[in-house]
Amino acid sequence: MKLVSEKHPVRVWDQEAAERLQGLVRLASIEATPRQILNCENLPGLLPTGTCVYVPFLPKGQFSDTLEACRHLQTMGMQPIPHVPARMAESHGQMRDWLSQLHESGVDRFFQTTDGWDAPILNDRRAPIYPRHQHLTTKEMGLVDTYLRNLGASVLTS
């Protein structure tokens, strides 16, 4: 799979055109799949340092692919914005695990760009259902609870 610009290279004729193109990229919403991010050899040549790139967790994909793509973007100086649909989490514990792993990519962006908060979330902190659950510190629980409350998410008790 190739990015569009690899199929049809953009030719920049002068410095003014190059600056306009860079300005457009900074204003645009950029999204790339984990596979595109991990397989594109010239991503730093296509996008300026600091570009925000939305990284989806695709329905038939693995969370680990999204996480690896986010980490790869960070090594190139990009700003990954992971998008994980909340409805894909099997439990509150699994969501906490994902949040913990995405923390380095920006928890706030995770909450802002994740959909599915209208589905009830099971609070299974006392008796976790998710097999790889992670215990959160009081501070981390407060952070998650605050985001969920601000989003108006419905949290069910186990």
- Per-residue pLDDT 10s for the chain (158 aa) are 445 555 555 554 667 777 777 777 767 778 999 999 999 888 887 787 878 888 988 888 888 899 899 889 888 888 888 887 777 888 888 887 887 777 755 656 667 667 788 888 888 888 888 777 777 778 778 878 888 888 888 888 86
Question: Phi/psi at 21 (nearest 5 deg)?
Answer: -65, -45
What residue type is assigned to position 9 of the chain?
A: P
Beta carbons within 8 Å of 8's beta carbon, 6+ residues apart? none
In contact, 79 and 50? CB cutoff 8 Å: yes
In Å, how far are 1, 3, 13, 80 from 7, measured between CA atoms? Answer: 10, 7, 19, 24
Q: DSSP 3-state assignment of 30? A: strand
**CA-derived radius of gyration, the chain:** 18
- With b for 16 or more beta-carbon neighbours within 10 A and e for fewer, the 10-39 pattern comes to eeeeeeeeeeeeeeeeeeeebebbbebbee
- Residue reference for tokens 């792993």: 101
The pair of structure tokens assigned to 23 is: 């300005």
Domain borders along the chain are 1-83, 91-158
In contact, 23 and 51? CB cutoff 8 Å: no
The DSSP output letter for 88 is G
Task: Output the pTM of the full model.
Answer: 0.57
